[in-house]
Structure 1
Amino acid sequence: NKLLHHEINGLKEALLVKKKYKKKEYHGGAVLWSPRKVREARVRQSVKEQEEKEQKLRKAETAELRKVAKLYKEKIAEEKRVGREAAKVAREKERAEKAAERARQKEARDAVKALQSTQKGKRKASQPPTQSNKRQKRVVDAVATKEALGAVLAAPPKTTRRGRNVKLLSKYK
């Protein structure tokens, strides 16, 4: 039993010594490559460089496409803006033409009205009514009428409660 323990301890120590030497291994010296390994390394390196170039090209292409798309979008927006401006100017011009046409028509109507009113003369209501020659009634009793007329003129005029004069009809006189 003691022998086994002694053997195990010896093996453990030997293992520790080997591990120490492995840790102290120097990695900076020249590395010898076989010709096959050199070819494989060169192929791997060229493939890696090729992939990097392709990725750079793809990135450049996508950046260029984005730039072109942005320019196209800006151009379309500019064309739309110019179109809207042109439509706005056309609408304003049409509106001004319509307003001018309405003003010309109103001026023409006013001129026609003024011409008609000058030709027409004064209004009929402002002119005194023309007296038509009615048949004169026969004078029956001139003396009696003068006396009656005097009596009517001498009587004070009738007034309403508010103080306004009332003219009696001739049949009630």
Structure 2
Amino acid sequence: MLPAANRVLLGLTGLVLLAAGGAVVAAALGAGVPSWWPWSGPDDVLLTQRARQHWRAESWWWPTVVAALAAMLLLSLWWLLAQFRRSRLAEILVESPDGEGAQLRGRALESVLIGEAEDLDGVARAQIAVHGRPTAPKARVRLLLEPYASPVETLHRLAAEALTHARTSAGLAALPAEVRLRAEKHHARRVV
């Protein structure tokens, strides 16, 4: 999930739950609540006895309610666990031709890629994150280009040099990369 969409969804969910919880507490304490609010006092219940008995006669009602609540619980737990998932790879599995393997730290590969990318002509700054699976990593590259840099040439050199060196040195079959280029803003200076 995109980080911005994730934050917006979390914020909206939190606001709705906070407002509903605050209204329920206000009604339970006997404070003034709007006339349309379903619970206006501390003795009100979510489902009246008549409504509970009406739905009790339907054989599908309670299994549906339990299934919907279980699905909401599982979705909420998945969403919570997704917040703790790392977006970067901690280690990359490097296999040698003789079948032996080693682990390469993701940060080490990132720092080497950053160094090579920043050495390219026309690159002011580079940010690189390696993500994906340990056996099939992917690179997310952001380059800040100097005003005089050619984006096509810079992208070609990045693929031909930095990414190819990283792929061959780590023994990877492929190292797909998503590259975002941004031009550095050139501010005019006053010459006296």
The normalised TM-score by structure 2 is 0.19
When you count helix as a share of all residues, which structure comes out higher? Answer: 1
| Larger RCO, structure (CA 8 Å, separation 6 or more) | 2
Q: Which has the larger radius of gyration?
A: 1
Which TM-score applies when normalising by structure 1? 0.21
When you count strand as a share of all residues, which structure comes out higher?
2
